[in-house]
Amino acid sequence: MTVELFVFWLLALVAVGSAVMVIGARNPVHSVLFLILCFFNAAGLFVLIGAEFLAMVLVVVYVGAVAVLFMFVVMMLDINFVRLREGFINYLPVGALVGLVLLAELILVGGSWALREPVAAGASTLEGMDNTRALGRLLYTEHFLVFQIAGVVLLVAIIGAIALTLRERVGVKRQDIARQVHRRPAETLVLERVEPGKGV
């Protein structure tokens, strides 16, 4: 067994195990930590196939931003996880149906990939390019429309997440910038004559 094959199996097994623990851990903080471990192992697999740019993006964007954001959100929000798990049995049939549909799609995609015709040698126009240049050329030429649609979907998801979590809270003091700017000194400064030995 070569060193590359040993590293591949090690990273793959740890990635699959940590992915299973993401959905199997009872504590959400532990789930996020397993997710970060899975991202690191996936980045190692990208490095093994020569996709250094994708490995760097996976570590910087997902581990450095998304997973850490998940961690802070889970730790800072007071979420009642016991209440969230109460209706698990009621939603189990719907969840199983969605899981079966996703499994069927994965099998169809994997089968079509296995049965595709091999590409003739020299047919690729990206030979001789480095990883980043080839990826950029594919994204901004052949897959430009799909790339832009994915960006719009992510933008809508961000706006939806903000709209769902934004709620008015009673008794919370907020800053009113227009009132601060238009405030006059007479409304701000109060002079009090304090007699000796007495408070205000």
Count the domains in the chain. 2
Task: Kindly state whether residues 11 and 68 are assigned to the same domain.
Answer: yes
Q: Indicate if the pLDDT at residue 183 is higher than 80.
A: yes
Domain that includes residue 154, residue range = 129-162
Contact in structure between 43 and 55 (CB atoms under 8 Å): yes
pLDDT-derived band at 31, boundaries 50, 70, 90 = confident
Axis crossing angle, helix 28-48 with helix 68-76, rounded to the nearest 10: 180
- Residue 61 located in a structural domain: yes
Please, what is the angle between helix 28-48 and helix 3-24, to 10°?
160
Within a domain: 88: no
140 lies in the same domain as 63: no
Domain assignment present for residue 167? The answer is: no
Average pLDDT, integer, range 5-25: 89
Nearest to 21 by CA among 155, 82, 13, 88: 13
The reply to whether 124 falls in a domain is no
The pLDDT of residue 13 is 92
End-of-domain residue from the set 58, 82, 106: 82
Domain boundary (26, 49, 82) is at: 82
Q: Is residue 195 part of a domain?
A: no
- Boundary-marking domain end, from 18, 51, 82: 82
75 and 8 in a common domain: yes
User: 35 and 70 in contact (C-beta within 8 Å)?
Assistant: yes
pLDDT in tens, 131-144: 778 888 888 888 88
In this prediction, residue 55 carries a pLDDT of: 85
Separation of alpha carbons 122 and 110, rounded Å: 25
Element (H, E) at 9: helix 3-24
Are residues 74 and 146 part of one domain? no
Answer yes or no: is 49 within a domain.
yes
My answer on whether 15 and 78 are in the same domain is: yes
Each residue of 100-134: pLDDT tens digit? 988 887 787 667 656 656 544 444 455 677 777 88
Domain at 3, CATH number? 1.20.120.1200
Residues 75 and 147 in one domain: no
Residue 200 contacts by C-beta under 8 Å, 6 or more apart in sequence?
A: 192, 194
| Domain presence at residue 200 | no
